[in-house]
Amino acid sequence: MAYGDRVLQQGLKGEDVVELQLRLAGYRGTLLDGDFGSGTELQVKSFQRDYMRLSAPSGVVDRATFLAIDELASRFPIDFAQLRCPCGVCSGFGQGRFKGRYMPGGEGQEKFHRYEYPGIHRLILWAARALFAYREDIRFSFSSGYRCAVENERKGRTTTNHHGKAVDIDTVLAPGMGKREDLERCNALRSLLVEKSNAQIGWLARNRKSLEPSDIAPTWVHYDVREYESKYLRDEFFCRDLAGLDRRLPITV
């Protein structure tokens, strides 16, 4: 079934469930497995409670819930100009090179997978939208998005997280705020993502969104999908523009 063509609830399976799980990645967050189980229901209830402000969330994706998810996208459009690779050689999102090839000594580890994914993973950008909705009092931007192999080589980087699997989120400081407040705010944002989005600090668990700890990312929030299994990192999950991220579909239920 196409997304938006049927009411979704526990027990259903399909591509429309995958799309739902992806769009609600910042509300708890579960796998993109297309199986609407208790984890997905928790996502829906979190969204209904925290975003739609329903006092009695149903966990059922009805028309009002579909429309609220569309609204989340409209209220927080993503500026892809901020996400493009700065190398000046690739088109902005790598050249699709090095699939299945790894940095020396890092065979089989996604952290060292040199593949230039075809854009940024949609899950991480939808998850960023949830953060923006939770903290509407803050002005956010992306300080880094895609960094292809050319850019990494130039800077001597050894990890490939920013080959489409990661974004760095920055906040605009209010007048009078200094570095100390910036540090505290980024720590608060990480705590919020752990609590509300089921993200982890570090990369211990598989299939979970990851945040760099504060000693690596003191004054920004690095958010990535590096620890997802390869079946959740398929090319179709990556996007290069807002239309590809949103994939607007008519809501007919």
Residues making contact with Zn ion (CB under 5 A)? 85, 87, 90, 148, 150-151, 166, 168, 222
Nearest Cα residue to 167 out of 132, 205, 121 = 121
Angle at 27 between CA 174 and CA 84, to 5 degrees: 60
Q: Cα–Cα distance between 122 and 3 in angstroms, integer?
A: 16
Q: Which is nearer to Zn ion, 151 or 170 (CB)?
A: 151
Q: Which is nearer to Zn ion, 12 or 166 (CB)?
A: 166
Antiparallel, parallel or unpaired: β 238-239 and 221-224? unpaired
Which long-range CB contacts under 8 A does 186-195 form with residues at least 24 apart? 186/214, 186/217, 186/218, 186/219, 186/220, 186/221, 187/214, 189/131, 189/135, 189/221, 190/214, 190/221, 192/131, 192/134, 192/135, 193/131, 193/221, 193/223
CB of 249 to Zn ion, least distance (A): 31
Q: Which is nearer to Zn ion, 78 or 150 (CB)?
A: 150
Q: Which is nearer to Zn ion, 12 or 124 (CB)?
A: 124
CB of 87 to Zn ion, least distance (A): 3
CB of 165 to Zn ion, least distance (A): 10
CB of 143 to Zn ion, least distance (A): 9
Cβ(49)–Cβ(57) under 8 Å? yes
Antiparallel, parallel or unpaired: β 140-144 and 120-121? unpaired
Q: Which is nearer to Zn ion, 75 or 99 (CB)?
A: 99
CB of 124 to Zn ion, least distance (A): 11
Q: Which is nearer to Zn ion, 101 or 247 (CB)?
A: 101
Question: How many residues appear in the chain?
Answer: 253
CB of 132 to Zn ion, least distance (A): 18
Neighbours of 179 (CB within 10 A): 10
Cβ(93)–Cβ(85) under 8 Å? yes
Rounded to whole angstroms, what are the CA distances from 88 to 149, 151, 152?
Answer: 12, 9, 13
Rg of the chain (C-alpha set): 18
CB of 90 to Zn ion, least distance (A): 3
Q: Which is nearer to Zn ion, 28 or 222 (CB)?
A: 222
